[in-house]
Structure formats: structure tokens, C-alpha cells
Chains A and B, each alone.
Chain A
Amino acid sequence: MYSTGKERAIPRLSSVVATVALLLVVAPQAVAVDAYSSDRLEMVRTIEAIAREVGGGATPSVLGMDVLDAMRRTPRHAFVPTYLQSLAYADRPLPIGYGQTISQPYIVALMTDLLRLAPGGRALEIGTGSGYQAAVLAELGHDVYTIEIVPDLAKQAAKRLSELGYDKVRVREGDGYFGWPDAAPFDGIVVTAASQQIPPPLIDQLKPGGRMVIPIGAAFLTQELILVEKLANGTVRTEAVLPVSFVPLTRSQ
């Protein structure tokens, strides 16, 4: 039922045998051919259209090609409950149980874009949820560390990610407040768990020049994104980025 393997063949396994085996599975589908591939292309076209429509100011109206490519490859249908698979590529958030959601594709793309990770970067995610955001980051070639507090969600996500071959994603079950000190520092951090606080340990574990993104809002509707930047000198700066650009005045702009 789940996608048979990674659609992109990057020989990142240490064992040659395993690499060959993976290539055998994946090679025939190098352009992401599965039952949902056309839905996925359509989803990315929608994301691009939304960005063009609502972007402006701090809200990007053109998203990074690498981000869009990663989303063209990530099998989103494998991250939603079976009964919702037909809606997996619709531009909407979906429930995944435990009061959690998988974000709207446009928001995932926007958050990933805002992180501005250089290739091969190291990313930390607080609030794994379904694991989709982690998978998108892994598709971009990053090392991903992700922490989920709800044990069942953590287990399901770990199993799903490993079955899909996302072995560059490490999932841990527990309190995200303290981050992942062993793997620190990180180039980028995504905090998808609703939070009133920005945990100081996470700021510590962010590399100078690194970025953190925190979506804010009720379930099913992201109202704003808080972008936290740690400058080269270690000072922390935050910026509110809206999913839709805002021009405060109607007449005299």
C-alpha cells in the first residue's frame, strides 16, 4: 500500500549490496511514477500558484525550486491515514489523530523555504506528527532529527519513514524542549508543536546563521510563521512572516 521505495536514487547507503538492491527497486521509477504521481505534480503546481497569488513583502511569491522538487518526490499519500489517501494531495491540512494534523502542502513548502538550508544541512524538527515535513527535508538531502511527544505518533512515524527508505531521518520519542544535544548544532529547526515558548535549549542548538520556523495558529489554519534567526554574533532576532502578504492600509499604501 505504501510507496515501494524512494523515487530518487542517491546511493547514500554504506553497504554496496544494499545500494544495488535499492537501485534495482527504484531505477525504473526515477521520475516518481506511482498511482499518485500526477496528483503530486498538480499539488506542486497549486503551491506555486498560491505563492504567486498571496506572496509579497516577507512572504515569498516564488518558492525555491529544490523545495518544490522535494515535494514532487515525497509520497504525501503515505503520510495520511488510509481513509484520507484520496485527499492526500489536495491543498488542505488533514487530521492524523491525537489532535494533530499534517499541514497544508503550501504551508509545508513555505516553512521549508523559509529555513533556507544549504544542501547537506542538519535539521531538527520538534513535533514529528506524520513525518511528512521530515521526509520533505530528507528529500532535500538534509540530515533530519525529529522528536515527537505522543508515543504512538512517534512509533508510527519512525516505522513509516524507515519503510519508505528515509534512513537519514532519526525519530525520537519525548519532550522536544531540550532539543537533541548530541546532534547539535543545527542549521535549521522547525517547531511544529504548538508552543507559547521558544525553548532556550533550541536557540542554543541553532548554529549562528541558522534559522528556526514556528507556525502559529489553531489546528487546520496557520495564522502566522515566526522566523527565528540566530545572527553570526549570536544575537537572536525574530520576524513574523504571514502565509499571505499583508498591506496594512487600503488606500494610502
Chain B
Amino acid sequence: MPLLAAVSLLSLAAIAYEILLTRLFSIALWHHFAYMIISLALLGYGASGTFLVFAKHRLLSRFHTSFAALAVSFGVAAIGCYALVRHLPFNPLEIIWDWRQQVHLAAIYLLLAVPFFAAASAIALVLAAWPARIGAVYRADLMGAGLGALGIVAALFVLPPEDCLRIIAAFAFGAAALALYSVGRRPAAFAILLLAVPAALAWPQTSLTPMPSPYKTLSLALNVPGARIVAERTSPLGRLTVVESPHVPLRDAPGLSLASTLMPPEQLGIFTDGEGMTAVTRFGGDFAAVAYLDELTTALPYHLLDRPATLVLGAGGGAQVLQALFHRAPRIDAVELNAQLVDFVRRDFDDFAGHIYAHPAVSVHVAEARSFVEASDARWDLIQVALLDSFASSAAGVQALSESPIYTVEAFQTYLRHLAPGGMLAVTRWLGSPPRDTLKLLATAISALEANGLGSAGERMVLLHNWNTATLLVRNDAFSRDEIALIRRFAAERQFDLAWFPGIRREDTNRYHRMAKPTLFDATAALLGPARSAFVDDYRFDIRPATDDRPFFFQFFRWALLPELATIQSRAGLVYLDSGYLVLALALPQAVAAAAVLILLPLAWLRRAERATRAPGRIRVALYFLAIGLAFLFIEIAFIARFSLFLGHPLSAIAVTLAGFLVSAGLGSGVSRNIATRWPQMAIVLAVAAIATLGTFYALVLPHAFGAMMGLPLAAKSVIAIGLIAPLGFAMGLPFPLGLTRVSESAPALLPWAWGINGCASVIAAVMATLLAMHFGFTALLVLALGLYAAAAFLLGQERRPARSSA
């Protein structure tokens, strides 16, 4: 058993390393680049299969030593390769301008693939060494991965990422020691265990600390004379940095009127992973000092509602809470996802912030905004969806990859249902040009109103904008004539433009903050009219409303734009491509090309080996493992998205869902041998039938069932989620070991190749899943996955020839 424990430990370390790298690169660069780098580095898994096709015999002859050596290699490379990568002068922002950046990027892929390659080779080696126990080995692998995902999320709450890196390296040495111990080589095992200490500790902290790009907002803020970091805290949600700038004020007031001469008082900036600054404003109880809060586009609802009970979604540093207090809101619920961020305002800088989070009218809730509202019975007069992402990152489209459950049609329906009579929903976004966010916001609001059975959406909406922000008001009731007069006065005094209000005329628009044509008004009119679908279909960007099934509010790219982009020869045309999407679109062909090389490379070699056997054809094997590799990830990703909404906090969602899938799949894998013995002809078909039944059932039932259970406490919801995931995961754990056992019995030479193909498929699947979900939705992804499983059953489901002829 110690060897299986070693497999678990190594697998744990590898998955923890993968998640940790995402964190480290999010601090140094940006999340979407982290995503691309790590996706590609994971091809080390695929490469391990290719390598073992050639080296299997040599390594198996000294099996335990080989395993230990590979595990130690992982331990050394996990830190070493990362430390090397830190020194590469890679600037992803220059990648479209400078070919040398592409060379750096390739070097990063290769370096970071090394540790994954070593870990995967070690595990594949055990599979090859113990063909009779494939199910048990794969179970150890999956269980370790499940624990690793849970463990690293927990560890990142208490330890800085640099220290997590050291622990991961030590674990790898532990795995090596266990392998040697399992064959009685105790002195060697003990020596390796001792070596773990210097391997983990020899690296000075400075060689591991991520170096933030000089182009990050935080780096730029710190270039200002006198600016300095006054506090820092990390968690799996990101590294929070608090900056004070005593000489040059931060002056954060998004949506401030150009006619205003007011200025915010002194502020502290809180950056998450060096971006997305949210400000804590100094407040000493004197509301006159924060009168600028009445000069923002977000102040409009307070002029229409008298002292509204207010819900602030995305409280951040508290600017919107202060704004609600300024307008004498008697009850303010402030929702913020990151507990550490709340702590800064509530504890560390409590005096500075004027105790706003301890104000008797204010209740602060640490929760994910959407699920907070779903679970609540309360109603509010005003729901403010705050603007938390930064202007520049919004303009650059870095969020294109992110799912945003707060901006979907279903979310808006929920907000509208939680409004008291006469209440309003106010959503503020960066304006941006050409218009994208604002139009998608409008389309989403209109769909939500209609879905709630409220006709004439145009009577229930007001769209107000400044030069760089737009605030959309939506309500269940129509706006009255008096209210419209108030709105017009509010806008005129502050030189805000109105792009929509009931009864607006074209000449009322595009006055102060102009576009070449009154595009916002024209678009709103089109979206409210009979030509809506034609308008949406024809628009250059994807402005279809986001839904829970396709919750990518920030994805605007349409492939229809591509031919036109291609005709613009200068790179100026790239302003139309959101960088988040660009990264995905680049990662996929790279991954596919690299995977193709890794899969095809050993073919010639295998042809010889195969001739001796009467195995299922190579192509059949390749397609089988490709299909189940893709399908497993597709289903996992689709359900993580579904369960995120249900469980609320994205971290609990990932921990519960990912660990749930991996552990239950591990358990399934553990019994695969029994199933294969009992139903030798039908095992794969049975597994696929179970997956298809459960998958279809969940797809149809879950979206409705979850609604009723949203209000349950997290523990209860976690138990329900695990209960639902377990049977599906169990069944999904079967096809891989069943197929691998088939291959190992009839054509053992193909085993490492199959392992490698599965590894490549997982990498491609992760990138493809995001792309597919963006364009077609998670349900489509699920359907595709079930189709792939069906194809797999067809490919390898029934033995075509008498079995075990080569045994």
C-alpha cells in the first residue's frame, strides 16, 4: 500500500502545484495569461505518455528507483523551474508587437511542463508496472488530486504562496521516500526524506516571490512619489495590497460629473492581485466632505427614492455604502465576497473609514452577491450593482474568460423580484467604445423584464451616462412623468447624458458625451423594438444577453468579425479583440498542435509493437482516450459552473465540486476491476449508460431544483452537492481504468500512449470547454460530453475479438 500512498501524495502535490501556479502568475501577470501558461504547461502530462512509450522497459527494470527519481525530479523542478521562469523578461502585453515575447512564452511553457512531466511519468510508470491493479492506481491518483485541490485552497488561507511551493516540493520527496520504503529500502527512504528539508528551504524567499509586472495598476500607483504599501494579506481569492499615497491623492470617483469641482477626500487604495483598485475613503462623520458622492451617475436613484433601504452588491472599499449613508439610507446591506477586504475596512482601517461598516444602519455580509440575493427573503428599495473592475482592465477585455453570475438574465430577474414596490435596480458599467457592456446590459435587463412577465420594458428603464460610465436603472413599475422631470434635471445639472428614458426623443441624446452617432439611443430603441433579434444578430460584437447557461457577460467577440479584422493589416485593428478572448483563441491551436506532435510521435514505434498482438486498432484506442479525456473535463467544468451558483462562494464551489468529482471518480475507478470481472462484455457500455442517464437527468432537473434550495446553509448545500456529484463522478471514474485495462491486456505497449493521449485531451478540453461554453452554453457542453462518452462506448465498448489472446 505505501506505493499507492506515494501515488496519491505525488498526485496531490501535482494538482496543488497547478492551482498554486495560477495564483502565482495571477499576482505577477494577469489571470488570463496565467490560465494560458498553465494550460500549456500541463501538456507535460501528455509528454509523459510519449516518453514512456520509449523508456518504459528501461524504467521498469528498476521500477522503484525510477519512481523515486521522477518524484524527486518533480520536487526539484516544481521550485526550480518556477524560479527560472521568474527571471525570464516576459511581457505578455507586448506579445502582438514583439516576436521575442513569443520565444519567452515558449520557454515558460517548456520549463513549467517539466515538473508536470515528471509527476505524470511517475504515475504512468506505476500503471504500466501493475496492469492488474490499474483501477486501484488510478483511484489513488484521483483521490490524491481531490485532496490536493482541497488542501491547496485551505493552505492559501494561512500561508503565503511561496511557502505553499516549498511544502509541495517536500511532499514530492515524501512520495519518493514512500516508494523506496515500500520495497524495504529504508535507509534510502530516510535519506530522501532528509533531503526534502534543504530542497524546500534552500530557496531564499526573494527567489520565489512573484514579481508583479511593472504595467499592473499597483506597480504604477507605487511609482508615484510617497506612495507606499501599508498592509498586505493573501488568500486563495487573491493578494490584497493596501496603498496610501499621501502626496498625490488617489481621487477615485468613477462616474464623477465633469461639471463637478468636488474631489474625494484622502483615500486608501486596495488592489487585488495588483489590479482592480477599490478605494477606502476617509470619513470623519462630516458628510459635506464627501459631497462628491452626489455628483456620480450612481447618485441618480437616491434622487428618485426617499431614504431607500439599499442593497450594495460588491461593497469593496465601501464607496457605495458611504454614498448610501450620505443619502440617509436607513438600512444598508453590503455584500462583499472577500472577507479580508471587509476586514481592512472594518478592522485595520476602521478609523480611517469612519466606522462605516459598524454603522447601525449597515450590515455587511461576506458572500457571493448573486447567491446572497437568491437566498434572501428581504426586499430593498434600491439594489446597487457596483463597478468593481478597473477601467483599463475593462477596456482591455481581460475579464472575457470570467463567468459573472451577477450579470445574467436570471440574476436580473432575481434582483427585480427582490425590489420593494417602487424600488429600482441600478447597474453601473464602464461605458467603453465601441459600446459593448452597456448594450449587453440593456439586452439583459429587457430579457429579464420580459421573463418576469413585465411588458413595455422601455417604460421601466433609464440609461444615464458620463464620458466613461453608464448607469442603468430598471424597475418593476413604470417611471412617472414627475420622476422623468427629476431625472432630466439631475442629468442636466451634472452634464450627464440620457440615452434612454420613457418618452425620450433622439435629439435629447448625445449632447455632452458624444459618439459619432447617438449609438446608445439607437441601440436601445432597436433592442426595445421588433427588430431586436436582427439588431443583435447584426451587431459587430456579441451582445446577446448573458444567461446562467452562458454566464460570460464580458465575452463580446464574434467570429464573424474575423474576416474583417484580417483585412485590417495594421495591428490597430486589434482594439476590437478583447485580450482575454485573444489568449484563449491563441492557446487552443498551440495546445492542439503540441498535443498532435506528442500523440503522433510514438506511432511509428508503436506500429512494430502492435504487430505482435491482436489488440484493438491504434486509432480506436486513440479516439477512445481522446473522447473520454475531453468528456470528463467537459462534464466537470459544466457542473462546477452549475454548482457555483448553488453553493455561492466560488471557493467552496470549486473545493466541493472538484474534490467531489475526483474522489468519487477515484472510488469508481477502485471498483472498476470488479465490474469488469462481473460484466466483461458490457462494463464500458454500462458505465456510459449510467453517465448519460445521470447527466441528462441533472441537466434537466438541477436548474429548477436548486432554486428551491438556495436558502439552505452552506453545509447542507455542500452535502446535497456531494450527494448529487458522487454517483455521476463514480460512473465517470470507470471508463478510463476499464479502457486502460483492456489495452494493457491486449496491447501493453499502447498503455503509456493511451495515458498520454488522455493527458493531452484534458488540456485541450479545459481550453475548449471555456470557448464552447462562451458561444453555446454549458448545456451544449454537457450534451457534447455525453455524445463523446457514447462514441467512446461505441469505440471500445464491446470486445470485437476473443479477449486475452495475448496473455
A residues apposed to B, CB below 8 Å = 46, 49-50, 53-54, 57-58, 91-93, 95, 97-99, 104, 106, 149-151, 175, 177, 194, 196-198, 200, 203, 216-224, 226, 228, 235-240, 242-244, 246-252
Contacts and interface: CB of A to CB of B under 8 A. Distances in A.
A219 B395 CA distance: 11
A250 B538 contact: yes
Contacts of A228: 258, 467
Given A238-B258, A242-B433, 17 more contacts: A54-B573, A92-B571, A99-B213, A198-B467, A216-B391, A216-B392, A217-B395, A226-B468, A235-B495, A235-B512, A236-B259, A236-B495, A238-B512, A239-B515, A240-B433, A244-B572, A250-B540
Nearest to B245: A175
A35 B571 CA distance: 27
Contact of B258 (A194, A236, A240): A236
A218 B215 contact: yes
A248 B252 CA distance: 32
Given A54-B572, A106-B572, A194 B392 contact: yes
Given A53-B570, A196-B468, A219-B93, A246 B392 contact: no
13 contacts: A54-B572, A54-B573, A220-B94, A220-B96, A223-B432, A236-B259, A237-B511, A238-B513, A240-B431, A240-B514, A244-B568, A246-B540, A250-B538
Interface residues of B, number: 65
Contacts of A50: 570, 572
Judged by DSSP, the binding face of B is loop
Contacts of B568: 53-54, 244
Contacts of B513: 237-240
Given A220-B93, A249-B540, A238 B514 contact: yes
B142 to A, nearest CB: 40
A50 B433 CA distance: 20
B226 to A, nearest CB: 10
Contact of B576 (A104, A200, A244): A244
Max chain A C-beta neighbours (<10 A), residue from B253, B395, B579: B395
Contact of B215 (A99, A197, A252): A99
B224 interface: yes
A219 B223 CA distance: 15
A194 B220 contact: yes
B248 interface: yes
A226 B514 CA distance: 10
B512 A237 contact: yes
Contacts of B713: none
A246 B432 CA distance: 13
A238 B435 CA distance: 15
Max chain B C-beta neighbours (<10 A), residue from A91, A106, A177, A218: A218
Contact of B395 (A91, A198, A216): A216
Interface in B397-448: 398, 431-435
Given A95-B91, A237-B512, A248 B519 contact: yes
Contacts of A246: 433-434, 540
Contacts of A203: 258
A177 B539 contact: no
Contacts of A106: 570, 572
B256 A197 contact: yes
Interface string B445-463: 0000000000000000000
B247 interface: yes
Contacts of B571: 91-92
Contacts of B514: 237-240
A175 B245 CA distance: 12
A49 B568 CA distance: 11
Contacts of B511: 237
Interface of B: 91, 93-94, 96-98, 213-216, 219-220, 223-225, 247-249, 251-254, 256, 258-261, 391-393, 395-396, 398, 431-435, 467-468, 495, 511-516, 519, 523, 534-535, 538-540, 560, 568-576, 579
B568 to A, nearest CB: 6
Given A219-B215, A244-B572, A249-B539, A99 B392 contact: no
Contacts of B519: 248
B258 A149 contact: no
Nearest to B514: A239
A196 B293 CA distance: 15
A198 B514 CA distance: 16
B253 A197 contact: yes
A36 B1 CA distance: 71
A219 B216 CA distance: 9
B576 A217 contact: no
A236 B512 contact: yes
Given A242-B575, A244-B576, A251-B538, A58 B220 contact: no
Given A53-B568, A149-B248, A242-B575, A218 B396 contact: yes
B434 A242 contact: yes
A200 B261 contact: yes
Nearest to B222: A99
A66 B253 CA distance: 38
A98 B214 CA distance: 6
Contacts of A200: 258, 260-261
Contact of B575 (A49, A93, A222, A249): A222
Nearest to A219: B215
Contacts of A252: 534, 538
B579 A218 contact: yes
A221 B538 contact: no
A175 B248 contact: yes
B247 A175 contact: yes
Nearest to B255: A196
Q: Which 5 A-B pairs have the closest CB atoms?
A: A240-B433, A99-B214, A218-B396, A238-B467, A219-B215
A5 B526 CA distance: 58
A57 B570 contact: no
Contacts of B225: 149-151
B94 A196 contact: no
A149 B260 CA distance: 24
A62 to B, nearest CB: 16
Nearest to B515: A240
A53 B575 contact: no
Nearest to B30: A218
A250 B559 CA distance: 12
A95 B94 contact: yes
A183 B225 CA distance: 24
Contacts of A98: 214, 223
Nearest to B254: A196
B146 to A, nearest CB: 37
Contacts of B215: 99, 218-220
